[in-house]
Structure 1
Amino acid sequence: MRTTEHLVVGAGLAGAATAWRLAQRGHEVTVVERTEPAAHDGSSHGSARIFRYAYPERAYAQMVVDAATGWVELAREHGASLLAPAPAVDHGPLRDPRALARVLEEVGVEHELLSAAEAGARWPQLRVDGEVLVQPGGAVIDAEGAVLAMLDQARAHGARILTGWPLGSLERTATGFVARAEDGRSLTAGRIVVAAGAWLPDLVQRLALPAGFVAALPRLDVTEENAFHFPYRDAHPHGTWPTTIHKTPQILAYSLPGGRDAGSAGQKVAEHAAGRSIGSASRRSGAVDPSNRERVTAYVREHLPGLVPEPYAETTCLYTTTPTEDFVVDGVDGVTVLSPCSGHGAKFAPLLGELAADVATGSAPAPERFRVGAAPARG
């Protein structure tokens, strides 16, 4: 039976980052992944996630600043950046660009406020909604590439990566844990980090966690979201397309250059957190919601005139969300649970790996708002 000091369950962005950080600190690490890293039916696949700094709360904006240092470090060690530069644009009456700008000023992030006319002159392919916040340091994250790069760095520091290893159960022993795969394979570990993404709801009762800890976990809502790729009307006539977040009483929409996910021929556009609740990744259907397609296509027609309002590719993806959209980074009795809620967690990956490594080794607690049983954050 194989033995390891730290066992990391899940090889998405969160698990890969944790393995990298633990191995980097000199710990013995084994990663077990249900299928393969950045699996296509998980939350860390593909080449297009938004990296942006704008948050209404200073704590999150500062965390992005801290995470950016980690992305630079990963690029240096990997030999290439996993972030493609793309300015980040925020607009809409419920996005409040001026309030976001005040937060960015506090944390020292470069930004500018543009009138609708100024933004329209800079990006005529967009039809903006009032004043616009621009973050020149925005980017598009290659999620799959980042997972593979972090795992490569973990391996370089001695970590083992086991694929096709779905965790079936976790049992406590006098010295740690026995982890058993669904097919009966097993290994022993001193400490466990569970970063299973949308499979976490199915695993919680199998993790040998105290009942009180399980009861105090925030509700994890797994939803099957829809995303669509719309073709550019011409070959990037205005230079690099920005990423956008547009929030109105009717819709919270985002867009970003689609990268290789759909042949780099268009913009990825979606409605944030508009999918159906499915309880767990195991109940994912893979079927796109026709009504969501209609809403997003209508949105493109009205607000993204630089795109042809006919999707040429579409997919579903998974969000795992707590009621406050805060993350879960906490542990008890040798088991650390890490859930960097989908929809806005990708940009924090290097930092979340640090936080999980701190909790797993006992070197530092996670931020209070991410601990199990923490009071709901106030806006």
Structure 2
Amino acid sequence: MRNVVVVGGGVMGSAAARTLSRHAQVTLLEQFEPGHDRGSSHGSSRIFRLAYPDPFYVDLAAQALPLWRELEQESGQELLDLVGAVDHGPRERVEPIEAALRAAGRPCEVLHPPAAAERWPGLRFDEHVLFHPEAGRVHADRATAAFQQVAAKSGVDVRHGVRVASVTPARHDRVEVVTDTGEVFVADAVVLAVGGWAADLVARTVPGLPTLRVTQEQPVHFPAADPLSWPSFLHYQGATGSEPGAYGLGSVDGVKMGFHGVGPQVDPDHRDRTVDQAALAQVVAYAEEWVPGVDTTRAVASTCLYTLTPDHDFVLDRHGAITVLAGFSGHGFKFAPLIGGLAADLVAGRRVPQRFALGAR
């Protein structure tokens, strides 16, 4: 049986470890404690949706949907709640999403803004509204823990508090992983799934990695009546949809809202996680105008990391015995169980979509 080391215990590394455990002896190394909030996988909610204007991503999300249900069965955890989602904004931004969903045979419904507001009185709606029921939320913390739980039951050695300093090829086509305390792991294959740290560790390890921009984003939670009944929502703002896109979804912590990919560039090891009051004020102002169902006087902000590629496509590829999972660009979480399977395919030498290859950009 092959020996594989997975570096990074966020949702992608944990998903990879769980799938790899079926055919390999796996060690999962995570630099922080379980459930930490320093990366991109923490919190109570992430949007799940099939709705993209690009049929490629519609297909990937459709493949991920039954895999989430499979993980729920294996772990005994409720992770995915399909309460539906609405996209609204300029017609030219929403209609391509509708077209891609219909072409894939997925259900969706166009609504007039007043009819949408009657159905969901906590929201106001812009010019064109699209509802799609195969959407909702994934519980982020529970999902990452579920992947690790299933992986551990399958024999994965899950180690927290282990920071990797270097990954280098070794003799006989093997890979040497060295921690910052000098511990050495020698493996047949290594998977690097280190989130915001990819811009450093992966860039030092394999060629062809696109330029990654790591940003600190600031989602905000608002109290609301029965937030778990709310649909997820995306709002393409401005006459041409060129202004920052707002997103939102219900969660156990209230209604979560923010602007997609607008935060400042940061070093994940040396960032100030203090809430930016100006950025918070912008989200509150948006909520006051477009989300009347939340209490904007009791906003609670937090921070997380995005790792953005230039085209917002992911990086999933193998260089020798090293597989890279990186650049999920603020929209990758929903695909995690599928990404775990693709990681296992790469380790086994099978092909994955060329669109995600190192050097493809």
- Smaller-chain TM-score range? over 0.9
- Equivalent residue number for residue 249 of structure 2: 256
Corresponding position: 1:173 with 2:170: yes
- Equivalent residue number for residue 220 of structure 2: 228
Query: Pick from 235, 250, 258: which aligns with 1:270?
Result: 258
**Would you say the 8 A contact 1:13–1:38 is kept in 2?**
no
- Equivalent residue number for residue 156 of structure 2: 159
Structure 2 CA distance, aligned partners of 1:204 and 1:22?
A: 20
Structure 1 CA distance, aligned partners of 2:30 and 2:3?
A: 17
Structure 2 CA distance, aligned partners of 1:12 and 1:34?
A: 10
Query: Pick from 260, 268, 273: which aligns with 1:281?
Result: 268
- Equivalent residue number for residue 21 of structure 1: 19
CA offset at residue 340 of structure 1? 4.7
With the length of structure 1 as denominator, give the TM-score of the two structures.
Answer: 0.90
CA offset at residue 353 of structure 1? 0.7
Give the alignment of 1:252-331 within 5 angstroms. 252-259=245-252, 264=253, 266-278=254-266, 280-331=267-318
- Equivalent residue number for residue 374 of structure 1: 360
CA offset at residue 235 of structure 1? 4.6
- Equivalent residue number for residue 195 of structure 2: 197
Change (3 A) 1:150 1:235: closer
CA offset at residue 94 of structure 1? 6.8
Structure 2 CA distance, aligned partners of 1:354 and 1:120?
A: 40
Structure 1 CA distance, aligned partners of 2:309 and 2:11?
A: 18
More displaced stretch, 135-144 vs 91-100: 91-100
Corresponding position: 1:54 with 2:41: no
Deviations 1:251-310 (A, max 9, x none): 310111132xxxx3x2111011110011x3112210222221111111000000111222
- Equivalent residue number for residue 149 of structure 1: 146
- Equivalent residue number for residue 353 of structure 1: 340
Q: Say what the alpha-carbon RMSD is for the aligned residues.
A: 1.7
Structure 1 CA distance, aligned partners of 2:64 and 2:222?
A: 30
Structure 2 CA distance, aligned partners of 1:226 and 1:107?
A: 33
Equivalent AA in structure 2 for residue 257 of structure 1: G
Unaligned ranges ≥5, structure 2: none
Query: Secondary structure of 1:281's match?
Result: coil
Corresponding position: 1:118 with 2:106: no
- Equivalent residue number for residue 341 of structure 1: 328
Deviations 1:199-255 (A, max 9, x none): 111213543x3xxx2xx21110000011111121x456xx81111100113331011
Change (3 A) 1:205 1:299: closer
**Would you say the 8 A contact 1:95–1:247 is kept in 2?**
no
CA offset at residue 171 of structure 1? 2.9
Query: Pick from 90, 96, 103: which aligns with 2:87?
Result: 90
Change (3 A) 1:301 1:205: closer
- Equivalent residue number for residue 217 of structure 1: 209
**Would you say the 8 A contact 1:94–1:248 is kept in 2?**
no
Query: Secondary structure of 1:274's match?
Result: coil
Equivalent AA in structure 2 for residue 277 of structure 1: Q
- Equivalent residue number for residue 9 of structure 2: 11
CA offset at residue 58 of structure 1? 0.1
Q: After TM superposition, where is structure 1 displaced by more than 2 Å over at least 4 residues in a row?
A: 36-39, 94-98, 204-207
Query: Secondary structure of 1:97's match?
Result: helix
CA offset at residue 36 of structure 1? 2.5
Query: Secondary structure of 2:149's match?
Result: helix
% identical aligned pairs = 38
Unaligned ranges ≥5, structure 1: none
